[in-house]
Amino acid sequence: MEVNRNRISDWLKNLQDSICTALEIADGKSTFEEDNWVREEGGGGRTRIIRNGDVIEKGGVLFSAVEGPAPDFLFNESQHSPQASSKEKTKNRPSFFATGVSIVIHPANPMVPIIHMNIRYFEMPAGTGGDGGVRWLGGGIDLTPHYIFKEDAAFFHQSLKKVCDKHHADYYTKFKTWADDYFYITHRKETRGIGGVFFDRLNEGDGMSFEKNLAFWKEIGENFAPIYTELISRNKNRSYTEKNKAWQLLRRGRYVEFNLVYDRGTKFGLETNGRVESILMSLPKTAGWEYDFKPEKDSEEEKTLALLKKGINWS
């Protein structure tokens, strides 16, 4: 079957539907609210938000398909005179098209981990100005526990490794390392969580056609719901204290720092005039910061901090 943007967008909409259904069942109380939006420059999306549930305090499952003249950060500005106006700079640019599903879930119980997934397709047909004629796949899935349970970390990484190994023997090692490097809070010298897999600009190569990589990309998306609903089931009934909730707020604060300082998806959305409410849905309802916080020696909080580093073999 020919690969084209419409089929990919339709598949992503169906993925959004199936993930929302699975999360509603896992939560058992709240349902998603849908907000459809249109982007002035072209395209739009469906933002679905769930909140105040039995399990999920705040979460979003977003679909978008946007297009228009390639923005500055995707385009080689050297093709234009520095004196040129903004309109002159963009009038001969090729159009880009990007579609994807993005998910962030913030649970109420601090023993249930935060999870994020994004899978996206990008294309820029050949045009009269700048680079063109490209298409690629990107995405990944990563887990941010407030408290790290090693059996859950192993389950999460083994599940991702199984998907990767099915498609390419090197993908898990390569994309796990990429996730460790990407989801790293440089100014804190710690990883955001326990990583996962991350990849970008995946097209063809290493014996993989674009179509084979598309099958891998789809399977990553399809595995989100079974992986996360299992982690919810394991942890949603664990008891917790006010101390645990206070720690959860601090870890959410780290999550906010990463998303606002480093995350490419946030930057892409803001720099392409995306819908701000949808872009920032990744932020938790509440978060916290304490000045120069130090966990108690040998506490579960200290043990978690000690595991927030690159290169751990979780599987």
Active site residues: 116
SS3 58: strand
Of 117, 139, 99, nearest to 8 (Cα)?
Answer: 99
CA 172 → CA 189, 247, 264, distances in Å? 24, 31, 21
Burial code of 49-77, b = ≥16 C-beta within 10 A, e = fewer?
bbeebebbbbbbbbbbbbbbbbeeebbee
Q: What is the DSSP letter of 73?
A: G
Q: Which two tokens stand for residue 199?
A: 């990849």
SS3 196: strand
Please state the φ and ψ torsions of residue 292, each to the nearest 5 degrees.
50, 50
* Beta bridge partners of residue 63, listed in sequence order: 46, 101
SS3 295: coil
d(CA 191, CA 261): 14
Q: Could you give the residue ranges of the DSSP H alpha helices within 183-299?
A: 210-222, 224-235, 242-261, 264-271, 276-279
